[in-house]
Chain A
Amino acid sequence: MLSSLLFILFAGAAIGCAIAMVAQRNPLYSAISLIGVLMSLACLYVMLAAPFIAAVQVIVYAGAIMVLVVFVIMLLNVEDEEPRRNRLAFLVPTAIGLAAILIAETAFILYSVQASPYTPRDNVSNVGLTASVGTGLFTEYLLPFEVTSILLLMAIVGAMSLARRSDIISPTTRVVPGSQVLTMHVIDPSSHDDTTAIETDTTTEARFLMGVNTPRDPGEQG
């Protein structure tokens, strides 16, 4: 009976935080509500005798991934969502209709699962402990594990190539060893506010733009 009360508590917290996440206009509040959902789900995982998954949920999801999301929200300094224009107002009834369909499917699942034969086994088992998860991961499911590692590598490369500032170094830019990217106020100290990047191919050219005399032969540099 106590476990039922705990389930109702954590499920209510998860649903409440999820609704708050959708209803909030500020993305930062949405992110904090999502962290509430993730923590509630971690508690439910503990109730389901899956302590390893619960710990990974807290560390990886609520820790790493949400820190990344909050970091991006802070970095972009987004405003609250302005009141929606009615250009796509038909989406709201669409969402209500889809939600009704999904809730109907939920009711069907509840009905059919309760009608299906099910015999609970004894509660003494090591399923969900770290040792059993690791054994399964490195023996029977080694191939998905390795494929996942390749996926992570691709994600690292993709994120780096996406987040790179392409206006300074574009794929067609000729990169010369010793080349420099200067800003306007370096060349002209009177223009403090202009931070436009000026690209120079060689160190000699940069020195010329800054008005620095080159002590050596310009032809030997760059």
Chain B
Amino acid sequence: MGPQLSWYLALSAILFTIGVVGVIIRRNVIAMFMCVELMLNAVNLTFVAFSSFFQDVTGQLFVFIVMTVAAAEAAVGLGIIIAIFRNRESLDVDEASILKL
């Protein structure tokens, strides 16, 4: 008896929870960004687990698309982070609580 589907779902939920906690308690914007990446990966694990256990390739296709979205998010998000740092000389999100520059 190998790993069951529920094992993978539990691992995915735990990783997602850790990502949520990280986004809430961390103040560094890069660390929050990486926690969002962790949440995306947790959802990817769910997709691949369902795809493998139900023998349907659709889940893996959407994992592929989620990875592309994550890459686009990384490019734009890091551009925003660089712009924030250039304006405020800080990566603390509390410093950037006002939209006005």
Binding site for B on A (CB under 8 A): 1, 3-4, 7, 11, 14-15, 18-19, 21-22, 24, 27, 30-31, 34, 37-38, 41, 44-45, 47-50, 52-53, 56-57, 60-61, 64-65, 68-69, 72-73, 75-76, 78, 81, 84-85, 87-88, 91-92, 94-96, 98-99, 102-103, 105-106, 109-110, 113-114, 118, 120-121, 125, 127-128, 132-133, 136-137, 141, 144-145, 148, 151-152, 154-156, 158-160, 162-163
Q: Are B14 and A15 in contact (CB under 8 A)?
A: yes
Size range of the chain B interface in the assembly? 35 or more
B2 to chain A, nearest CB (A): 4
Q: Are A128 and B41 in contact (CB under 8 A)?
A: no
Q: Are A65 and B70 in contact (CB under 8 A)?
A: yes
Give the docked Cα–Cα distance between A22 and B22 (Å): 5
B54 to chain A, nearest CB (A): 8
Does B96 lie at the interface of the complex (its beta carbon under 8 Å from any beta carbon of A)?
A: no
CB contacts (< 8 Å) of A127 on chain B: these are 51-52, 55-57, 60
How many CB-defined contacts (below 8 Å) exist between A and B? Answer: 229
Give the docked Cα–Cα distance between A127 and B18 (Å): 30
Q: Are B15 and A65 in contact (CB under 8 A)?
A: no
Which residues from 24 to 46 on chain B have a C-beta closer than 8 Å to any C-beta of chain A?
24-28, 30-31, 33-35, 37-38, 41, 44-45
Q: From B1, B33, B52, name the one whose CB has the most chain A CB atoms within 10 angstroms.
A: B52
B41 to chain A, nearest CB (A): 6
CB contacts (< 8 Å) of A85 on chain B: these are 94
Binding site for A on B (CB under 8 A): 1-11, 13-22, 24-28, 30-31, 33-35, 37-38, 41, 44-45, 48-49, 51-53, 55-58, 60-61, 63-65, 67-76, 78-83, 85, 91-92, 94
Q: Are A69 and B78 in contact (CB under 8 A)?
A: yes
Which 9 A-B pairs rank lowest in CB-CB distance, beginning with the nearest?
A162-B79, A155-B72, A106-B13, A22-B22, A48-B52, A3-B2, A95-B24, A7-B3, A159-B75
Q: Are B63 and A65 in contact (CB under 8 A)?
A: no
B79 to chain A, nearest CB (A): 3
B100 to chain A, nearest CB (A): 16
Known: A3-B3, A127-B55, A162-B80. A156 touches B64 (CB 8 A): no
CB contacts (< 8 Å) of B82 on chain A: these are 72, 75-76, 162-163
Q: Are B74 and A109 in contact (CB under 8 A)?
A: no
CB contacts (< 8 Å) of A41 on chain B: these are 41, 44-45
- Cβ 8 A contact of B48, one of A11, A45, A99, A160: A45
